[in-house]
Homo-oligomer: A and B are copies of this chain.
């Protein structure tokens, strides 16, 4: 792949950037109107179909081919390249963290647009459409597949990206994920995570008369305490959080039920695997210890471990041509490339060996995942041109 990226000359990239910036500056008002329109269509994780249909309509208007909405709800369209090479994939996620019923109206406050999801990821979706429009007529070597993905946020667990790269996207040449505002960050390391829900179930009973029955809260606490004693590596940075706990019905009863939810994160797959094994053994040991203490005539406590999240990790090298191309274009617009780590739709292609980066869609944003989320378009056009130029450069090679 290195040689192919090398074939795109700095001159060609520079020309692409200048052309696309001038076009996007002219089309800027229309792009921001799309961004606002998208933000006002509800798309909670798991309920992205209305927003997806809007994107599908725009894909059709832009003349993309091979239009499809797959069984995960991903909306897909192709810009045909000259040669039958593996395509470049551009993804932007459809879903937001905001539940149905959230007021999604967008308002202006000075240079800022305010509204839930206006930045994450209405900006990414609107710029993905602009890339599809702007790349048309560039006589690209490779096809570009544009994918509006589902289930990127929280409990979605990268559902859309997982499905797409396991099926139609499995043969992709590279992937560029457009996520939120910004024009410096280049995510080339995928922060992985595992999430578990542990449930303890036993007989419970009266706290005096049945004393000696196993206590589900005591077992959950013992498992938690064992997990917090694990020394976590600082490099790669790794986290373990017992994020939620619950159990018990009344202050005068031995709790028969308790549950806990655990989040572990790392960029190292082997560290995540080792922590998952430690969690299993901590839960098993805590359950056995509580059962070992119980009165002889009481039924034992049972524990169950369910995986409720699994985002694979991985990385591509800093000197990978895809990263180098993204960094080069970032410097061309006068910004400093910030090579970083995050959990995005890029986790999936990276974990499958497909080179991928996640980049911003231009402009500035903040208060993401809150109802006071904002977007400032001051540097929007040049940032959008950066994204377009990175994608087109990859597709030219």
Contacts and interface: CB of A to CB of B under 8 A. Distances in A.
Interface of A: 154, 191, 195, 207-208, 211, 215, 217-218, 220-222, 224-225, 228, 237, 239, 241-255, 258, 260-263, 265, 308-309, 343
Contacts of A244: 217, 247-251, 255
A255 B243 contact: yes
Task: Please tell me how many copies of the chain the complex holds.
Answer: 2
**A191, A225, A261: most-surrounded residue (chain B CB, <10 A):** A225
Contacts of A262: 251
A76 B251 CA distance: 31
A326 to B, nearest CB: 23
A138 B110 CA distance: 91
Contacts of A254: 241, 243
A222 B220 contact: no
Contact of A207 (B221, B239, B251): B239
B224 A228 contact: no
A139 B104 CA distance: 82
Contacts of A237: 211
Given A222-B225, A222-B228, A228-B221, A261 B248 contact: yes
25 contacts: A207-B241, A208-B239, A211-B239, A211-B241, A217-B224, A218-B228, A220-B221, A221-B222, A221-B224, A221-B245, A222-B224, A241-B254, A242-B255, A243-B248, A243-B252, A243-B253, A244-B249, A244-B250, A244-B255, A245-B246, A245-B247, A246-B246, A248-B261, A251-B308, A252-B263
A287 to B, nearest CB: 13
**A217, A218, A248: most-surrounded residue (chain B CB, <10 A):** A217
A364 to B, nearest CB: 18
Given A154-B252, A208-B265, A261-B248, A242 B217 contact: yes
Contacts of A224: 217-218, 221-222, 225
A261 B254 CA distance: 11
